[in-house]
Structure 1
Amino acid sequence: MRVLVALVVATLFVAALGYSNAIAEPVVRRAFVGMPDWSDATPPLRIALLSDLHVAGPDMPPQRLAAIVAQVNAQRPDMVLLAGDFVSDKRVATRRYSADEAVAPLGKLAARYGVTAVLGNHDHWRDADAFRRALPAVGVLVLDNQVARRGPLLVAGSDDDFTGHSDVPRLTAAVASARGPVIALSHSPDITPELPESVRLVFAGHTHCGQIRLPWIGAVATMSRHGERYACGLVRDGNRTVIVSAGLGTSLLPLRFGTPPDFWIVTIGPEARQAR
């Protein structure tokens, strides 16, 4: 009996710790990335990357997302990128939110070059068209394998690769006819090796950095066909830089170990500055 009680207590403790980690204040991660075609006359640009919001009870109600939006605005980004998965139908969700309810707090994001988004696998599994309506209604531009100019940058936005909705040839053709620095936004980082060489910076999420990452074992799962290659954080991939966020919410279970929620503030400027 004592062994059973000890196991129950230990299980509850671990669950409470994992939940506490999941609802912790996001870590703000920072990086500078030099772009080879960035003019010295163009001021550096601050980009906020948010991914995997997974709005659902108990860990990410819209009220918590609204508080995170205020934290992002306090960083004064010039541009905000949203890398998909706006909702979650996790196994122990205490409440599911509609697309309109989930994205409503995003209407408060403030950036002079706007807010740009792509969809993720959970958005497709729920109702992709509902998000294609809800996001523009709060001022967010949704890219479906399209390129859009946002200030001095061109943003190439890929639809979700995990559910088979990406179209890299179409995106590549659009990039080929574009002029100026190009960055890519994708829910999953898995399309990175397929992108044209002119895309020197990729923003993504999806992996949650594993969500549960254990000592000596590593990530329980990355949900990436490239394994750990693009699993987490800032990755130097040849001449390309890939930024993969751990995300803000959770999927399947509202637990995190070794992978705190985060969002990124990435400053883009001349490549010569990065060399220094």
Structure 2
Amino acid sequence: MITRRGFLRLIGGSALSMVSLSAYAVGIEPMLLTHVKRYALTPPHWPTGLKLRVVALADIHACRPWMTPERIASLVENTNALQPDLIVLLGDYVDGMRLVTADVSAPDWASALSGLRAPLGVLSILGNHDWWHDYAAQVAGAGPTVARGALESVGIPVLENDVVRLEKDGHGFWIAGLADQLAIRPSKALRRHGFKGLDDLDGTLAKVSDSAPVILLAHEPDIFPKVPWRVSLTLSGHTHGGQVRLFGYSPVVPSEFGNRYAYGHVVENDRNLIVSGGLGFSILPVRFGVRPEILQIDLG
């Protein structure tokens, strides 16, 4: 039988543990040195002899004090040090929560990203927050967004339902980028019900004009069940790995599929998806079990 003193010690110890875990989740893990998450795979119908290193950044969510221009510039240095052939940005450059001390303007975060360097270039897509926080785009129900203009102003192309053909060592391949699947928010004032996506998967892939492999960039991974086998690899962000992840499970995931596409490398019917845990956060500045990460993907 537990004594009163023992009970109080138990409660006190539990409370201290909770405070310690909360402090770690809010104050330490989100600011840890960024982890490089490495994947190596040869997708179906990938050309023999094509070795390609793709490095991906997702969900930066620029804001103070969590993701300052200085921290983004440091991430840029870490990314370049990985010697990528190609760098891709998977959307959500804009902050995603109210618990900030100050916003970071689009010119400031774009300027920090302008230092990215790779022989085959830097390509990007937009995320839902890049649309949601753009009042003019929400009213119009269409772009171009401020985020797109900021990226293009520093020489980073934005793919919205568009494709680019690249070549390495005599082998061609395609990068296809989808427009956001949750771009336009519901609005009573504008009499809009439900989210409206601007993505066009079929129309985008129709622009691929030869049999070279395709890498698809799609901010939200929920598109994956519709992605055809023709696509060698799909890269997504958005979920942040749930921001809290224990024993391979995330209690809350912003996806219709729950944990199915929450994080990591998913293979279904010989099709490959990699979902980044991202760099910043939305709703709350909390990470536990999902360190901020840069993706390094070696193909072939």
Q: TM-score, normalised by structure 1?
A: 0.88
The equivalent of 2:34 in structure 1 is 26
Q: How many residues align structurally?
A: 265
Conserved in 2, the CA contact under 8 Å of 1:172 and 1:195?
A: no
Q: Which runs of 5+ in 2 are unaligned?
A: 1-7, 135-143, 184-196
Change (3 A) 1:107 1:159: same
Alignment of 1:1-276 (within 5 A): 12-19=19-26, 20-42=28-50, 44-127=51-134, 129-151=145-167, 152-163=172-183, 164-175=197-208, 177-214=209-246, 218-269=249-300
The one-letter code matched in structure 2 to 1:222 is: V
Is the CA contact 1:22–1:260 (under 8 Å) kept in the aligned structure 2?
yes
- Extract unaligned runs of 5+ from structure 1: 270-276
Give the residue type in structure 2 aligned to 1:28: V
SS at match of 1:165: coil
Closer/same/farther in 2, CA of residues 93 and 47 from structure 1, 3 Å limit:
same
**In 1, are the aligned partners of 2:130 and 2:147 still within 8 Å (CA)?**
yes
Name the structure with the higher strand share. Answer: 1
Larger Rg: 2
- Contact 1:33/1:241 (8 A) holds in 2: no
**RMSD of equivalent CA atoms:** 2.2
* Inter-CA distance 33–6: structure 2 relative to 1 (3 Å threshold): closer
Task: Name the SS of the counterpart of 2:258 in structure 1.
Answer: coil
Letter in 1 for 2:258: G
Cα deviation for residue 259 of structure 1 reads 0.9
Aligned to 1:13, the other structure's residue is in SS state: helix
**Over residues 58-94 of structure 1, what are the superposed CA-to-partner deviations in whole Å (9 max), with x where a residue is unaligned?**
2111111111111111100000011100011412111
TM-score by length of 2: 0.82
Instruction: Please state how far the C-alpha of 1:169 moved relative to its aligned partner.
Output: 2.5
Which residue is 1:274 aligned to?
none
